Amino acid sequence: MVVMPLKPEFPEEWDKKTGSDLRAVSYWTYATIYSGKDSLFNRLKEKKIPAEAIPQYFSVYGLRTYGSLNGNLVTEIIYVHSKLMIVDDRLAIIGSANINDRSMLGDRDSEVAVIIQDNDLMEGTMNGQPYQVGQFSHSLRCHLLREHLGLLSERNATPLNVEDPLTTISTISKLAVENTLIYEQVFHGRILPTNQGLADFSLEKAEKELEKIQGSIVVFPSLFLKDVLKPSFLDYVDMYVDTRGRTRELNFDDTTAGTFFA
């Protein structure tokens, strides 16, 4: 389960004149997760895992919230800036590094990360079976899930148990879809490009719909602008220019790759 920003942190929109950086980062994000030949999604398909079963192994979500501003209902993404990985409820990696050359080469940005491996194990469950979980990693994951699913709020309290991550995946996916559909119904055209929404003509109905939302988890838009985000040739060059002047051969499935600065 991956939780990441619904939109990269660039102020511009996705138009070709001013949004080249946003389009390029969005393109590579989708190519890495879903559409690229070596994407995580396609690697699972190569393992003969049916597409409908892949969410049981790998799924991506975003976070969104809503409120009232000057008497108008508004919505905004929750920008996930933390770099955190929790593995098997026994190990956690927490740091500031992004997964890119700027953070990982070792001679650019100053980054720090820690690996926290639990020695204090306790009884838990994994996929319905008895399993020794780490006290810190397990409690951190459970708290984050409860927060994202709205279980920390008395208004949205449900009997959902998040102690076993594998038995709650389908419930998480279902809740994310339900939340996303409510947001689309209330804020048409502000979540995905559609028609007028409830917030534009019926504040009372919109507020009643929003009360049904649990937590902040929503579906990550895996097909958003998938056919128009591909950067131009010049965008590729700009992205791979390095002041050290070294070059390397880069191969792209859908471009005529040449020699780029990198």
Tens-digit pLDDT profile for residues 132-190: 999 999 999 999 999 999 888 766 555 678 999 888 888 899 999 999 988 888 887 55
Provide the pLDDT confidence category of residue 260 given band limits of 50, 70 and 90: very low
Region of poorest pLDDT, from 6-20, 205-219, 242-256: 242-256
Identify the three-state secondary structure at position 242. Answer: coil
Query: 87-106 pLDDT, tens per residue?
Result: 999 999 998 887 677 777 77
- Judge whether 162 and 151 are in contact, CB under 8 Å: yes
Identify the three-state secondary structure at position 139. Answer: helix
Q: What is the mean pLDDT of residues 22-48?
A: 86
Handedness of CA 22, 24, 27, 28 (dihedral sign): negative
Alpha carbons within 13 angstroms on the beta-carbon side of residue 212 total 15
What's the longest Cα–Cα distance across the chain?
Answer: 60
Provide the pLDDT confidence category of residue 202 given band limits of 50, 70 and 90: low
DSSP 137: H
Q: Which of 38, 35, 36, 7 is nearest to 23 (CA)?
A: 7
Which residues lie below 8 Å from residue 114, measured CB to CB, with a gap of 6+?
A: 93, 94, 95
255: alpha, beta or left, given left = phi > 0 and alpha = psi -120 to 50?
A: beta
Kindly report the number of other CB atoms within 10 A of residue 215's CB atom. Answer: 23
CA distance 157 to 21: 41
